[in-house]
Amino acid sequence: MEWEVVIGLEIHAQLATKSKIFSGSSTAYGAEANTQANAIDLGLPGVLPAFNEEALRMAVKFGLAIDAEIGLKSVFDRKNYFYPDSPKGYQTTQLHHPVVGIGHIDIELEDGSSKRINVTRAHLEEDAGKSVHEGFNGMSGIDLNRAGTPLIEIVSEPEMRNAKEAAAYFRKMHSIVTYLGICDGDLSQGSMRCDCNVSLRPKGQEEFGTRTEIKNVNSFRNVERAIDSEIARQMDILEDGGKIIQETRLYDADKNETRAMRSKEVANDYRYFPCPDLLPVIIDDNYVEAVRSTLPELPDAKRARFAHSHGLSPIDAAVLAANRELAHYFETAAKIANDYKLAANWVQGDVSATLNRLEISIGELAVSAEQLGRILQLIKDNTLNNGGAKEVFNALVEGKGDGSAESVDKLVDSLGLKQVSDSGAIEAIVAEVLAANPKLVESYLATPEDKRAKAIGPFIGLVRKAAKGVNPQVVMDVLQKKLSEL
């Protein structure tokens, strides 16, 4: 039977506030256990939550970025469940009146087309603490530093039809929240996590099949792999005439398979009710418009501008616009050099290769955008050839520079990379090389005309060895002229 895959994602993004959503504890990552958990975070009796205005502003900003309805009145509810990483016995969240209503984003598919995915809602809630099950002699250790960290949970419509679309959606959301500066986007630290709802139905059938939920997938690649392995698992069961059990599953990246979490004997009943400690949050149109005025240029707009105004290919534009810092770096260098294509080649070539090799982000690269811009200028005015430019770049990567554009010029001088384009100087070097290698000249002259283009190679190598930074085109011209005169 032909099956249609139905995927919906729930993405949790940690908001980049300094303090927690309902308390003045720090949200900084990596602190010693429980040093950032105060009476409110611990759920001690008699405390009252105080709502962080920045968390609200960030959520509204997100809503505007995905063109969503903004909830002018949002209400916090308690979702009750028992687990030691939530000592209050409930999670404060928003059930019926979320701060962000229906919105949408566009994802780019592999064939270059784009697809609109609707977002059902996004609501504010608090994160839970962390449990550590190893190293405590059969007990579990609880660290409540993360408890109370503000999250937005972004819920998509079940509109994705394969794992690639789901990964593209997750990537796009990552790109949007990091552009907005409302989430640091650090997947390895759990700043963004994704729950994937997957089901299959016979093609053409209206009704959804039974779904499973894969919890807490934390990389783009794993979203794709987890969903693909879950699709394969469900298809096997259905093809054999079996039934899918609605359950929560975990993805094991090492084995590339999902497995069921321990099923609960009794279905959970979250007994939601409005939080009596928090009043309705009311904002007005002025508030919304003030937030709108702080929106940066978003990835789609930037991508379109790169492609239309600067003549980059759709793929180049998409790659360069996906990451806000990288886009800024690229644009700064391109403006200085006044050459977007050349800058695009460098940023996607040497710059990206260096970032990958050193496993660093663009902000940590020792070569500033101003320095790259200066290197590109020097390529364009023929001061540097490509090899020389790479040498300067690599020297800067190794820390031989102070971040300034001037240090590029100093390096070009000290490394002796200035390209010699003056044909008089090159003629002298060529004459020396020819005089020093009579045998090579002899064999060149013995070479038939039609094979001489290849035979000239060794001379070019020798000239460039004798004088670094000579303009290869000029060398070729002078060599051909001199040799033809012999």
Partner 1 sequence: MALDQQQVRDIADLSRLQIDEAQIAEYQKNLSNILDLVDQLSAVDTSAVEPMAHPLDAVQRLRADVVTEENNRDHFQQIAPQTENGYYLVPRVVE
Binding site for partner 1 (CB under 8 A): 17-19, 23-26, 32-39, 42, 44, 50-56, 75, 82-84, 131-133, 136, 138-144, 261-262, 265-266, 268-269, 274, 278-282
Crossing angle of helices 472-485 and 438-446, in 10° steps, is 80
Q: Which is nearer to partner 1, 109 or 132 (CB)?
A: 132
Task: Please say which residue, 132 or 453, places its beta carbon nearer to partner 1.
Answer: 132
Bridge partners for 194 per DSSP: 11, 217
Torsion 99-104-109-112 (CA) sign:
negative
Indicate the residue among 255 and 262 with the shorter CB distance to partner 1. 262
Q: Say which residues have a Cβ less than 8 Å from residue 388's Cβ, sequence separation at least 6.
A: 412, 415, 417, 418, 419, 468, 469
Contact 330, 318 (CB under 8 A): no
d(CA 482, CA 478): 6
Q: How far is the CB of 395 from partner 1 (least distance, A)?
A: 42
Q: In the bound complex, what is the minimum distance in angstroms from residue 73's beta carbon to partner 1?
A: 9
Angle at 251 between CA 247 and CA 256, to 5 degrees: 130
CB of 101 to partner 1, least distance (A): 18
Smallest separation, CB 137 to partner 1 (Å): 8
Q: Which is nearer to partner 1, 93 or 371 (CB)?
A: 93
Residue 28 or 109: which CB sits closer to partner 1? 28
From residue 396, give the alpha-carbon distance in Å to each of 327, 338, 414.
20, 21, 13
**At closest approach, how far in Å is the CB of 213 from partner 1?**
13
Strand partners for 79: 91
In angstroms, rounded to a whole number, what is the distance separating the alpha carbons of residues 458 and 437? Answer: 11
Instruction: Report the SS3 class of residue 245.
Output: coil
Q: What is the C-alpha to C-alpha distance for residues 12 and 124, in angstroms, rounded to an integer?
A: 10
Q: How far is the CB of 50 from partner 1 (least distance, A)?
A: 4
Q: Smaller CB distance to partner 1: residue 78 or 310? A: 78
Nearest residue (CB) to partner 1, 34 versus 423: 34
Spatial CA neighbour of 185 closest among 176, 196, 172, 174 = 174
Whose Cβ is closer to partner 1: residue 6's or residue 75's? 75
Q: Could you give the CA distance from residue 31 to residue 394 in angstroms, rounded to a whole number? A: 36
Instruction: Print burial letters for 7-17: b (CB count within 10 Å at least 16), e (below 16).
Output: bbbbbbbbbbb
Q: Which residues have a Cβ under 8 Å from the Cβ of 230 and sit 6 or more positions away?
A: 196, 198, 212, 214, 249, 251, 258
- CB-based contact 203:209 (threshold 8 Å): no
Closer to partner 1 at the Cβ: 38 or 210? Answer: 38
For residue 136, the minimal CB distance to partner 1 (Å) is 6
CB nearer to partner 1: give 14 or 377: 14
3-state secondary structure of 428: helix
Cβ atoms of residues 10 and 194 within 8 Å:
yes
Q: Smallest distance, Å, CB 472 to partner 1? A: 57
Q: State the nearest-atom distance from the C-beta of 207 to partner 1, in Å.
A: 29
What's the min distance (Å) between Cβ of 271 and partner 1? 8
